[in-house]
Amino acid sequence: MQQQLYVYNTLTRQQGLFQPIAPPHVGLYVCGPTVYGPAHLGHARCYLTFDTIKRYLQHIGYKVRYVRNITDVGHLERDADEGEDKILQQARLEKIEPMEVVQRYTNSFHSDIAALNIEAPDIEPTASGHIPEQIALIEKMLQQGCAYEVEGSVYFDIKAYEQHHRYGELSGRKLEDVLSGTRTLKSQAEKKSPVDFALWKKADATHIMRWPSPWGEGFPGWHTECAALGYKYLGSYFDIHGGGMDLLFPHHECEVVQARAMHNTTSAKYWIHNNMVTLHDQKMSKSLGNYITLAQLFQGTHPLLTRPYHPMILRFFYLQAHYRSTVNFSNEALQGAEKGYLKLMNGLKAIQNMRYPADVIESGRAEVHMTTIEQHIALGYEAMNDDFNTAKLIAALFQMLKLIHALETRSLAIEEAAFEKLKQAYTLFVVDILGLQPFFQTEPTNLIATIMQVYADAKQQKNYAQVDMLRAELKSKGITIKDTRYGAVWEYGEYPEV
């Protein structure tokens, strides 16, 4: 690989050179959503983080296999081994079939995520579609003596595990601390130790989603799902396992424990966790009423929102921060992000539309040389090689933007090769790596060119009523007209009210 990429690994608590197990292949597993409700701001940050990581790995030459599951069974309330299945609970609430809940929220998840220009994974397996794989895994753990069956449920045996391995490898938590902090739940009576977790749960009479197993009818536990799916599609030891920081414990710790017990690995070489989103400095939660879904954000329908926000504003807002820092969500912060986003997009439009040499050279002097452009590009790569630091990349892009504006206003001239390189690199970083797109597609562009011609004619004829009408009309569609020394040009303007 041309680039030396440094990645922070939660497992080692260090940042180090990224060295995949079998380059150029990279296996990437990210815990997908539990589809019992609409996707929210937290989901978007996680999947955007790994979309950016995947895009960059591909750009620098890796062949990535990206697996992101859909949890459609086995995720119980409060992430514990007790209580109702989240999907079943929602099905009762909406008075529909559990699989109808699954389909409804899988569909809305896909459309919300696509609006953010987050690319689909290569494999998107569901838990319910992989029951035999999970049963096989549980049987193997029973054979190895690190699991036990009690009345139709199977639990992982942490005490047995501790005889050969150390608990808390990923999260750094100590077993005695976890034990003292564990609440007493109904199912604890069945467990040898409260820290043991369910691999398979017996379905009681009211439980609809159930499958036959060697231990009777039941359903798999959430931690088993990811362990089985990661193993099936990426193997016993793959490159990257990712997810939100909130999954680090217990979910990811339980995955490591199973991989250690089964294959004596940590499941993945690199564990990557994105940080959380706070809302007006508060943790997001349903009970605090500050839980904003993506649909509410895009339509501006949540009481805390002063207006709708285009998905690209959210994408840029998140990318402005490094994925390991928290981001604080507010209307002001989003509106600030919109301004920055528009600057980047207008720079993209400007450089893509500039013709060489007609639009860039007036004096015939070439003042900007290739070395300057290469320095700018190196700063962009340096940012991404520093643990995918998109915040630093955006800062580097704003420096390139200054150059683009200087070319636009003819205050600088540039060599042809340097100009082409700048155009190519700026487009690569903004479009391919950061995944930013304009609010709307401007095809067919000749239609806008026609409108701009009508505007220019009206202006020449001093028909100010028509000039004002055209400006207002386009503004309501998210297009701003700017009069310059070289005539009128259009730019992307604020997201129009819907």
Q: How many residues in the shown chain lie near Zn ion by CB under 5 A?
A: 2
Amino acid in the structure at residue 51:
D
> CB-wise, 240 or 393, nearer to Zn ion?
240
For CA atoms 170, 175, 179, 181, the dihedral sign is negative
Distance set, CA 155 to CA 150, 158, 173, 256 (Å): 8, 9, 20, 15
CA distance 153 to 207: 14
> CB-wise, 67 or 279, nearer to Zn ion?
67
Rounded least distance, CB 496 to Zn ion, Å: 39
Tokens for 6, please give them: 């440094």
* Window of 24-32, 134-142, 289-297, 465-473 that interacts with Zn ion by CB under 5 A: 24-32
Rounded least distance, CB 256 to Zn ion, Å: 11
> CB-wise, 102 or 226, nearer to Zn ion?
226
> CB-wise, 241 or 315, nearer to Zn ion?
241
CA distance 479 to 188: 61
User: Which residues in the 182-241 window bind Zn ion by CB under 5 A?
Assistant: 226
CA distance 13 to 417: 43
Taking residue 386's Cβ as centre, other Cβ atoms within 10 Å add up to 16
Rounded least distance, CB 73 to Zn ion, Å: 13
Tokens for 336, please give them: 């600030």
* Residue 396 engages Zn ion in binding (rule: CB under 5 A): no
* Window of 31-39, 119-127, 139-147, 484-492 that interacts with Zn ion by CB under 5 A: 31-39
* Window of 25-33, 88-96, 353-361, 475-483 that interacts with Zn ion by CB under 5 A: 25-33
> CB-wise, 68 or 202, nearer to Zn ion?
68
Rounded least distance, CB 30 to Zn ion, Å: 8
CA distance 310 to 307: 10
* Residue 31 engages Zn ion in binding (rule: CB under 5 A): yes
Rounded least distance, CB 231 to Zn ion, Å: 12
265 burial (CB, 10 Å; 0-12 / 13-18 / 19+) is middle
* Window of 26-34, 153-161, 258-266, 297-305 that interacts with Zn ion by CB under 5 A: 26-34
List the beta bridge partners of residue 64.
Answer: 26
Name which of 424, 439, 487 is nearest 460 in CA terms: 487
Contact call for residues 238 and 27 (beta carbons, < 8 A): yes
What is the helix (H) or strand (E) element at residue 241, kind and residue range? strand 238-244
Contact call for residues 479 and 492 (beta carbons, < 8 A): yes
Rounded least distance, CB 78 to Zn ion, Å: 16
* Residue 5 engages Zn ion in binding (rule: CB under 5 A): no
Name which of 32, 205, 211, 20 is nearest 124 in CA terms: 32
> CB-wise, 160 or 226, nearer to Zn ion?
226
Rounded least distance, CB 76 to Zn ion, Å: 14
> CB-wise, 221 or 311, nearer to Zn ion?
221
33 — alpha (psi -120 to 50), left (phi > 0) or beta? beta
* Window of 7-15, 29-37, 60-68, 280-288 that interacts with Zn ion by CB under 5 A: 29-37
> CB-wise, 138 or 368, nearer to Zn ion?
138
Please provide the DSSP assignment of 309-325 as one string: --HHHHHHHHHTS-TTS
Rounded least distance, CB 247 to Zn ion, Å: 6
Three-state DSSP at 479 gives: strand
Rounded least distance, CB 407 to Zn ion, Å: 48
Rounded least distance, CB 229 to Zn ion, Å: 8
CA distance 90 to 74: 13
Order across the sheet with 277-279: list the strands: 282-283, 277-279, 327-329
Binding mask 57-96 for Zn ion (x = CB under 5 A): ----------------------------------------
> CB-wise, 69 or 389, nearer to Zn ion?
69
> CB-wise, 75 or 322, nearer to Zn ion?
75
Where on the chain is the footprint of Zn ion (CB under 5 A)?
31, 226
